[in-house]
Amino acid sequence: MTRTETDSLGSKEIPADAYWGIHTARALDNFPISQRPISVYRDLVVALAMVKQASARANREIGVLDPERADLIDRASQKVIDGEFHDQFVVGVIQGGAGTSTNMNANEVITNIALELAGREKGDYAFLSPIDHTNRSQSTNDVYPTAVKVGLGLDLRTLLEELDLLKQSFLRKAVEFHDVLKIGRTQLQDAVPMTLGQEFHGFATTLGYDHQRLTENAYLLYEINMGATAIGTGITTHAAYAPRVLHHLREITGLDLATADDLVEATSDTGSFMSFSSSLKRNAIKLSKICNDLRLLSSGPQAGFGEINLPAQQAGSSIMPGKVNPVIPEVVNQVAFAVVGADMTVTMAVEAGQLQLNAFEPVIAHSIFQSITWMRRGMRTLRVNCVDGITANRERLGAMVGSSVGVVTALTPFLGYAASAALAKTALLTHRNVGDLVVEAGLMSREEVDKQLSPARLSGLEAITQAIPIVQPAENVVES
């Protein structure tokens, strides 16, 4: 069963049960590119409905849309906001036309829902039109970027929630490992001691900073251009429309939105998307670095670092029995690579804008929504399937600290650099304990050595604040 719909290009048969119409149908024919409908990004669909709802309320208030039709559009939009009819948002995420197909998909679906609410047939556009009524006072060029910004604002909330949960997971591990001494490393070479808790606390802190940066950059998205219509001049709109639609959109979304001062500039500029995408890239790169560290620290388990154990999630080889790979950090690494690529796509698309409009906002929107979606999922699997279950190889870590020449750094304030370097050389050649060598050389008493090489001192948790006299190196310390 079909119904016939007509546009300026001619007529087309539409499935009778479809809530979308002829403009969406043409987009399905023209853009079979991604094979991913816009409905994969739930918050984008919700944001489109929020914009239509706010516009209907504003249009009613200023008297350019009668109360009956405005109410029908309002009610239909609310159904979409509540999660209904999302399967009817079928146009591909990648499309030509600067988002016109997405806007028309929303107009048609909301109009046909409204027609059903009025007891009328789908496609009865003489009574309620997708363009003349649902799109009243609007253009794709203000609706689409505003909906993308609102959708990203909504989507970011869940990303930040997941980011905070991951931070808390690392903080719990920091507490659990607070007394586990280990050797720190710089340039992959042994450095000075620290605690495993300090290392995990560092992971949590860096994620907290990213939470702040993402929140700050989100505000760049909250400047909208509703009322700009085609190019920012506001043609076809009532003078009161822009402030009224802003009022309702703020109320509906709960976001701190503001109308741009220069609507011509705001309609052509997409720099806020680039800045926000860059903050996502920053978060992804830092998350990837953490995953690199987790893979290194868990490497082995026999011939690698072997300092921590990641939860075993699946068999790691089809040929090597018993092999288990760090698959969770690996998948998060790959998410980060994709986010970096998406950020480059956004950058190039922003640069490609011409004159009064950027025609490439669909790929900008897709790239950023995909980055948020994948990062949110990546953070969750990292937390649930990896970080929460990490354990420390305490005996191995203790043995490495005991035999490491890195601890000699803690004695340099007492022995001086030259004597400490000689001790380190001797310890490396003889594989003996540094503390024992110091005591045997008569440089410090056992009590003094044990105090300075205590976990609190070695990890910097207990600072040395008093002036310390440097003793002269003994000749028998230096290896001949």
Residues taking part in catalysis: 317
CB proximity list for 94: less than 8 A, separation 6 or greater? 31, 33, 34, 362, 363, 366
Tokens 């209904």 found at: 84
Determine how many CB atoms are found less than 10 A away from the CB of residue 308: 25
Closest to 14 (Cα-Cα) out of 121, 103, 95, 100: 121
Q: 3-class secondary structure for the chain?
A: CEEEEEECCEEEEEECCCCCCHHHHHHHHHCCCCCCEHHHCHHHHHHHHHHHHHHHHHHHHHCCCCHHHHHHHHHHHHHHHCCCCHHHCCCECCCCCCCHHHHHHHHHHHHHHHHHHCCCCCCCCCCCCCCCCCCCCCCHHHHHHHHHHHHHHHHHHHHHHHHHHHHHHHHHHHHHCCCCEEEEEECCEEEEEEEHHHHHHHHHHHHHHHHHHHHHHHHHHHEECCCCCCCCCCCCCCCCHHHHHHHHHHHHHCCCCEECCCHHHHHHCCHHHHHHHHHHHHHHHHHHHHHHHHHHHCCCCCCCCCCEECCCCCCCCCCCCCCCCCHHHHHHHHHHHHHHHHHHHHHHHHHCCECCECCCHHHHHHHHHHHHHHHHHHHHHHHHHCHHHCEECHHHHHHHHHHCHHHHHHHHHHHCHHHHHHHHHHHHHHCCCHHHHHHHCCCCCHHHHHHHCCHHHHCCCCCCCCCCCCCCCCHHHCCC
| Residue count of the chain | 480
Cα dihedral sign for 94, 100, 101, 103? positive
User: For residue 148, what are the CA distances in angstroms to 46, 102, 224?
Assistant: 10, 11, 10
Dist CA 216 CA 212 (whole Å): 6
Cβ atoms < 10 Å from Cβ of 316 = 13
